Structure 1
Amino acid sequence: MTRIHPTAIVDPKAELDDSVSVGPYAIVGPHVRIGAGTVVGAHCVIDGKTTIGRDNRFHPSSSIGCMPQDMSHGLALTELHIGDRNTVFQYCTFSTGTHKEDGVTRVGSDNWIMATVHLAHDVQLGNHCVLANSATLAGHVRVGDWAVIGGLTGVHQFVHIGAHSMIGFQAHVSQDVAPYMTVDGNPLAVRAVNVTGLKRRDFSEARIRAIRQMHKLLFRQGLTLDESKAEIAALQGQGADEDVRCMLDFLAASKRGLVRG
């Protein structure tokens, strides 16, 4: 049977796999679905139209699937989708989406989300990301796979954060962060390629070399963005086509301009 502590309140309409564990004083709302092996810690509130995958762990006192902090939202029932094997530490808040987009906030799989992190409405968080304590993502933010966001960092609404990027401690992020880059400081600036992270993920020397060249073309040679894009496109065929496409797709989707150095 589902392991529900006697002090927990689980709505009878909620759908929980038999292997789900719900801790003391937790509350699970009627529109919630939770997959196998997930653990809901003490005092957590899981509400809204929230779908959670397998083997997630929610530490005590988080509020998951809460109403969007959007004054125009009203009382519409919107959604939060969470993947598999995420670890969510204490006092985190994840909002459902709004109908300004498709009504869904999305969290991928294998993310490590530390205490007091806030994911606002319509955030799209990828896979294998690390969000340190008190990182705050405003509405409509997009975060690529393997990104690392430092503690006490605030991310402005609609900002895009590229895959494999790293944002330093207490950053104010109001523009898009290109894939593979390390940024920090106030004002925020690109410092280097996130080489340590790439090596941990077994990127080949050819791929890292091409990424270093993209860094130079975007941030160190005084080129216009269109000139940089053309030079980056010319790097295809040198063993890093996947990374070149990732960068070009990111630049094409960027709306707020890039953090530069």
Structure 2
Amino acid sequence: MKHDKNDKTQIHPTAIVSPKAKLGVNVYIGPYSVIGPHVKIGDHVSLHNHVTINGYTTIGDYTIVYPFACLGDPPQDLAYNGERSKLIIGMHNKIGHYVTMNGGTQSGGLITQIGNYGIFMDGSHVAHDCKVGDYVVIPNHVLLAGHVKVGNNVVFGGASSVVQNTIIGQGAFVTAHTLVSENVIPYGIVSGFRAKLRGLNIIGMKRLCIPNRDIHVVRQTYKILFDKSNKDLWKESVKKIKTEFPDNPYVQEIVDFIEQPTKKAFCTPYSAEDEA
């Protein structure tokens, strides 16, 4: 632990903190919390009562963790065999009641990674090997399965779930009670059981201060990408997009997303068959 005359760290007498744990300055650890020996806690972190942090877990500065959250326990994966599993949480996160986040497995580099400025509401779960970006909003009872990747500025609706190995692109919006089992393009909106695209997250794009001219180009990109007249949907559509919008950074982001290696297909728009 650090020893600084200006350090105002407070540890409640009922908390159990390993002497091997590394604490930053001005940390608050509330009643009945338990901190393991390999935990690293940054500056100005606040852990409310009954918080449990285990494993090789790092928590970034100014993060707040609310009661009964459990962070850094071993991954819930049958292949896990006691390796040094890590959970790395960035700065300025808010982690709600009963949130669980597990460490990584060997197949995912033994790291579960959380970005900065996220909010993880009550009862949400981040499984092993997930990679979650910055400014992500994860409401109550959202479940991310193993190896899920979530881009920056993604917003979920409550009680939605993401199947393992799925990738959610930057700025996407997942509506409440949605089950996502295929990749979601950047700035897409998806909904439904076995999610389908409902369009673009225009409101989210405006909140990100994306210029109107670029939003218009992304709309055109969406229409080309999901043009039903193309038999070879991705190959021909992506080729056309590259030709028509060669210098637009938001289009390039979508192209890069589609062309990255993935184990999953991509969410496509609803069709008449889906509505039947």
> TM range, normalised to the smaller chain?
over 0.9
Question: Is 224-233 or 104-113 further displaced after alignment?
Answer: 224-233
Query: 5+ residue gaps in structure 1?
Result: none
Q: Which residue of 1 aligns with 2:117?
A: 110
CA deviation profile, 1:96-126 (whole Å, cap 9, x unmatched): 0011121100000001111111000000000
User: In structure 1, what is the Cα distance between the partners aligned to 2:251 and 2:142?
Assistant: 29
Q: Which residue of 1 aligns with 2:239?
A: 230
Counterparts of 1:48-87 in structure 2 under 5 Å? 48-87=55-94
Structure showing greater radius of gyration is 2
TM-fit CA distance, 1:234: 2.2
Counterpart amino acid of 1:43? H
User: In 2, are the aligned partners of 1:95 and 1:121 still within 8 Å (CA)?
Assistant: yes
Q: Which residue of 2 aligns with 1:19?
A: 26
CA RMSD of aligned residues (A): 1.2
User: In structure 1, what is the Cα distance between the partners aligned to 2:47 and 2:227?
Assistant: 47
Counterparts of 1:96-245 in structure 2 under 5 Å? 96-223=103-230, 224-237=233-246, 241-245=248-252
Q: Which residue of 1 aligns with 2:272?
A: none
TM-fit CA distance, 1:220: 4.1
User: In 2, are the aligned partners of 1:210 and 1:235 still within 8 Å (CA)?
Assistant: no
Query: 5+ residue gaps in structure 2?
Result: 1-7, 270-276
Q: Which residue of 2 aligns with 1:256?
A: 264
Counterpart amino acid of 1:259? C
Question: Is 184-193 or 36-45 further displaced after alignment?
Answer: 184-193
TM-fit CA distance, 1:255: 2.8
Counterpart amino acid of 2:264? R
User: In structure 2, what is the Cα distance between the partners aligned to 1:122 and 1:54?
Assistant: 22
User: In structure 2, what is the Cα distance between the partners aligned to 1:192 and 1:138?
Assistant: 24
Query: Measured at CA, do residues 222 and 167 of structure 1 come closer, stay the same or move farther in structure 2, by a change above 3 Å?
Result: farther
Counterparts of 1:89-100 in structure 2 under 5 Å? 89-100=96-107
Q: What TM-score do the two structures reach when normalised by structure 2?
A: 0.91
User: In structure 2, what is the Cα distance between the partners aligned to 1:88 and 1:149?
Assistant: 15
User: In 2, are the aligned partners of 1:235 and 1:244 still within 8 Å (CA)?
Assistant: no
TM-fit CA distance, 1:143: 0.4
Say which of 9, 13, 20 aligns to 1:2.
Answer: 9
User: In structure 1, what is the Cα distance between the partners aligned to 2:26 and 2:141?
Assistant: 31
CA deviation profile, 1:13-33 (whole Å, cap 9, x unmatched): 000012111011000000000
Q: What TM-score do the two structures reach when normalised by structure 1?
A: 0.96
User: In structure 2, what is the Cα distance between the partners aligned to 1:235 and 1:48?
Assistant: 50
TM-fit CA distance, 1:50: 0.6
User: In structure 1, what is the Cα distance between the partners aligned to 2:172 and 2:190?
Assistant: 8
User: In structure 2, what is the Cα distance between the partners aligned to 1:88 and 1:186?
Assistant: 27
TM-fit CA distance, 1:69: 0.2
